[in-house]
């Protein structure tokens, strides 16, 4: 198996209070006072205080906006081409900065043997992987892979792939970078899905350095993986392309689906890792939303403090799709690396379109 020896997180330049983002959304979605009150209630009860974006527009006067139109109806509305142009410019810079932070003091960039880029908020060919390679001047012979459009659980897919690469007999240095610019895909049509996306998603990046298990450096040792799909939820969580950008479907039924299925999923995943619920010292759960975390806690009888790091990440950054669970894992790393208690056992889980649920177990040593 493999070991994560470094985690770094990165954020774009613009930080917004949830109240600021409410004012932007309120101007777009609310047609009367009742709409505004309902929207403010949703924003105030989201469990989110701040989010980040590559866009400076969300608290600027309309005339000063650089991405959205100054018109009240935001017309002409940004096309998918304009959104991808911004992604192409911003994603590489954020990825490179985060990778550089991740490998600093660990390896030289020329020692990277594998590069895995992860994103569901922008795609092109040549894509993010080649941008990173070229701008960092990485060896041209490295193995590169892109995981695209898998949503919030894609980081666990990347861990699986990195783990497989680390089975190689050579000294392997796999870099994983998850870069999501969710706010590029703001939609103005009034719908529950668009309103939910507007109050929940933010931009962020996380990078990992993963080595063969023989590494003597302390880190998070990956032990097992398990995945499952609940096809009855395939219409409740989706992410589709359109001429106006990427469109999110995230119905209010998703927390119910997760609550219904998570206990069984967790048991199967723990069985695969030859573990019991009582063995788990740290729960690394993707904070897809406040209601999702509450549903998971109820499903397996967890106290809220068991998911504190997930709540903290949701509060400080919102949902950053694939990068989010790695922000949670970094917080767990910071705790366990400073502790002298018994070897911790980590259970990770993330969710995405399908409805897909991906899990991993790990220790720190």
Are 174 and 114 spatial neighbours (Cβ–Cβ below 8 Å)? yes
Question: The tokens of 175 are what?
Answer: 């870099």
Tell me how far apart the alpha carbons of residues 310 and 319 are, in angstroms, rounded to a whole number: 10
Q: Are 21 and 57 in contact (CB under 8 A)?
A: no
| Residue 64's pLDDT band (cuts 50, 70, 90) | very high
27-60 confidence digits (pLDDT tens): 999 999 999 999 999 999 999 999 999 999 999 9
The pLDDT, as a whole number, for residue 79 is 92
Nearest to 359 by CA among 276, 301, 285, 278: 285
Asked if residues 191 and 197 have their Cβ atoms less than 8 Å apart, the reply is no
Average pLDDT value over all residues in the chain: 91
The predicted-structure confidence for 74-93, as pLDDT tens digits, reads as follows 999 999 999 999 999 999 99
SS3 content of the chain, % helix, strand, coil (to 5): 45, 25, 30
pLDDT in tens, 1-22: 799 999 999 999 999 999 999 9
* Tens digit of each residue's pLDDT (9 = 90 or more) over 165-192: 998 777 899 999 999 999 999 999 998 8
Write the pLDDT tens digit of every residue in 223-255: 999 998 877 656 666 667 777 777 776 666 577
DSSP secondary structure letters along 70-135: SSTT-PSPPPHHHHHHHHHHHHHHHHHHHHHHHHTTT--GGG--EEEEEESS---SS-HHHHHHHH
d(CA 94, CA 295): 33
- Give the domains, in start order, of the chain with CATH numbers: 220-364 (3.40.47.10)
């Amino acid at each position: 198996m493999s070991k994560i020896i470094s985690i770094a997180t990165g954020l774009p330049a613009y930080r917004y209070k949830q109240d600021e983002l409410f004012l932007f959304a309120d101007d777009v979605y609310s047609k009367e006072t009742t709409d505004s009150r309902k929207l403010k209630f949703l924003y105030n009860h989201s469990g989110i205080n701040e989010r980040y974006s590559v866009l400076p527009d969300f608290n600027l006067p309309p005339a000063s906006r650089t991405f959205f139109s100054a018109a009240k109806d935001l017309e002409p509305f940004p096309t998918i081409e304009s959104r991808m142009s911004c992604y192409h410019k911003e994603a590489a810079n954020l990825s490179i900065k985060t990778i550089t932070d991740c490998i600093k003091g660990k390896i030289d960039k020329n020692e990277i043997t594998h590069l895995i880029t992860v994103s569901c908020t922008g795609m092109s060919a040549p894509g993010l992987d080649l941008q990173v390679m070229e701008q960092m001047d990485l060896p041209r012979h490295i193995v590169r892979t892109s995981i695209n459009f898998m949503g919030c659980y894609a980081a666990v897919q990347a861990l699986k792939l990195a783990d497989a690469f680390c089975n190689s007999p050579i000294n392997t240095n796999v870099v994983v970078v998850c870069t999501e610019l969710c706010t590029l895909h703001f939609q103005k049509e009034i719908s529950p899905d668009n309103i939910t996306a507007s109050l929940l998603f933010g931009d962020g990046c996380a990078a990992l350095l993963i080595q063969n298990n023989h590494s003597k450096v302390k880190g998070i040792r990956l032990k097992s993986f398990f995945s499952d799909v609940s096809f009855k939820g395939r219409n409740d969580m989706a992410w589709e392309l359109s001429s106006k950008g990427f469109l999110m479907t995230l119905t209010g039924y998703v927390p119910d689906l997760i609550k219904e299925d998570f206990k069984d999923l967790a048991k199967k995943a723990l069985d695969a890792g030859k573990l019991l619920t009582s063995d788990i010292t740290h729960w690394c759960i993707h904070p897809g939303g406040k209601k999702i975390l509450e549903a998971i806690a109820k499903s397996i009888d967890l106290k809220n403090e068991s998911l504190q790091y997930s709540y903290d990440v949701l509060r400080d950054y919102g949902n950053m799709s694939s990068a989010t669970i790695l922000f949670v894992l970094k917080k767990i790393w910071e705790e366990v690396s400073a502790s002298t208690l018994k070897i911790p056992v980590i259970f990770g889980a993330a969710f995405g379109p399908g409805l897909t649920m991906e899990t991993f177990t790990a220790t720190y040593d």
